[in-house]
Amino acid sequence: MRSIPKGAEPRALIQWKADNTQTPENLFYTGGGFPGEAVREALLSEQFHLCAYTMKRLKTAAECKSQGRDTTSNSRPIFFPL
């Protein structure tokens, strides 16, 4: 497994947290307009598009969608190794 130094949170995530501090029921991946795509893009960039466990290249959401795979999840962003 590879160690990945964490970068700063995406601006969209920081803003989403600030907008939802008074509505904790929205502080879930599926609530209150969670900026999933911004988080996915930041994670892929931070990880150099590599899976930390398999070291295989991770597909982008567009690549997954073009293959008919669902890119949404109720619990976390999803990526598929090539």
What proportion of the chain, given as a percentage, has pLDDT over 90? 9
Does any domain span residue 36?
A: yes
pTM: 0.67
Does any domain span residue 82?
A: no
Range of the domain at 56: 11-66
d(CA 30, CA 72): 9
How many separate domains does the chain show? 1
d(CA 5, CA 28): 24
d(CA 15, CA 8): 13
Does any domain span residue 53?
A: yes
What proportion of the chain, given as a percentage, has pLDDT over 70? 77
Does any domain span residue 50?
A: yes
Does any domain span residue 52?
A: yes
Does any domain span residue 22?
A: yes
pLDDT at residue 81 tops 80 = no
Does any domain span residue 3?
A: no
Tens of pLDDT, residues 20-36: 888 877 777 666 688 88
For residue 74 the two structure tokens come to 């109720």
Predicted local distance difference test score (pLDDT) of residue 10: 93
